[in-house]
Amino acid sequence: MSDERVIDPEGAYIWDGWGTCLSWWANTGLGARDDLAAALFGLDTTRVTTSGREIELPGLGLNIVRYNLGACTWTGGSAMVESPAIVRRKQIETYYDGERWNWSADPNQRSMLAKARDAGADTFEMFSVSPPWWMTVNGNPSGAEQGEQDNLEFQYQDAFARFIAAVARRARDDWGIRFSSVEPFNEPSLTAWHARQNQEGCHFTLGAQEAVIECLRRALDEHGLGDVLIAASDECRYMDAVDTWQKLTEGARRLLGRVNVHAYEPDEKGRSRTKLREAVGEETPIWQSEYAEGEPDGLAMALSISRDIRYLRAAGWVCWQPVEALDWGLLDGEYDDRAPNPTGGAPGTLKGEVGGVNTKYHVLAQYSRHIRPGMRILKSGHTNTVAAHDPSAGRLVLVTVNGGRKRTVTYDLRSLTEGANAARVWVTDTIDAPAARRYARRPDADLQGGLLTVVHESNTVTTMEVDGV
């Protein structure tokens, strides 16, 4: 099979970057590991210690870090109610128990936050999954007794906003971390957040979201954080985000600097993504702020990235758990807290190890190492190809995922260049086979008269770089 793709710079937009969240993996001892910080947030080749051996990995160069502001305390008189299904690493320690501040809380996440910064990350967002337990209706940071009920007490809406602003100010002044955005919700429209589920969570009605957004903007401004934008609403699915955006008041929408959305709706034809972009409009940026699935080969992830960029015109793309078990992570995570304690008091010592590397780590490298922050995303002529241009370096990057049969693709670059004569090529095979390539450098591809022709084998992700564009 063969086809042609015309690369078109019309309507280009700026790429903010690639990222990951720190919960829950960095809530364990993994948050203190320099090798993981180097692999995830740096660009140099680095050696990562696994439970069996050391492995050499190309740095992913993730520049966006989403920090989870916790909701749990275990101080002397704590009346926090714990879900019978939760495990310890999914309980994030918070800084204020309603009476006193504890700025030494949450040491592991804060450790990785600083290590990520030092390794090269430059864009930080703080997000809340649940208000602190003492602000909730039932004292349980996993959710209300019924999933459709709000769990933030009405009387604490302003206090919740001020709490977020106070931590953001502390991070700027004392931690050396400037959060450029804060996100007060996490999948707020879901009815899955109830007192017996296995993580922190909180349902918010539209009215509650609007009230918190207004309080948060005022609190940030009063704390001298007028440059920190509010992102919302981190809905689970694209159509949930469409519904929330359209129902928010115009006043609430004006207070939002960005729309965040999760990628748990497959949306293979891109219709829901397109509807969200049309609803929000071109002026408001969108991030895909949480992606995860249990497929280790990375093919589904690559297809989702392509759709998010083509249809959603996402300016940022964030994976949820880079180190997680059961093939959910880029790296396989092994933790000591797999079983919850049905009598309360989730067990576990927050120990974690890296078991190995999944192919999708190398698939993400095909994108994140080459499409860098500040580059311009171009129209590629096809859903499965992402095109980006670096004006300062005069470099064009093309990343194509091919989940079907072997095909020959001709990329028409004549509107961009006719002077270049070759493209550098890297390939990852999304199959598990002895000779499978993992972010492997391949021979250069010829470029003649502005036409680049490349053969894409089945189940591959291929990156091509052309200079002189």
Annotated catalytic residues are 187, 290
In sequence order, the 6+-apart residues with CB closer than 8 A to the CB of 294 are: 326, 327, 328
Could you identify the residue written with the tokens 């992830």? 301
As given in the structure block, the two tokens for residue 71 are: 């909701």
As given in the structure block, the two tokens for residue 167 are: 């931590």
- How many angstroms separate the CA atoms of 438 and 93, rounded? 38
Q: Is the peptide bond before 23 cis (omega within 30 degrees of 0)?
A: no
Closest to 198 (Cα-Cα) out of 68, 89, 359: 89
| Run of H or E including 366 | helix 359-368
Closest to 286 (Cα-Cα) out of 219, 227, 235: 235
Could you identify the residue written with the tokens 């509807």? 275
Q: What share of the chain is helix, strand, coil (3-state, %, to 5)?
A: 25, 30, 45
DSSP state string for 335-361: ES--S--TTSS------EEEEEE-HHH
Give CA torsion, residues 242, 151, 24, 276, to 10 deg: 0
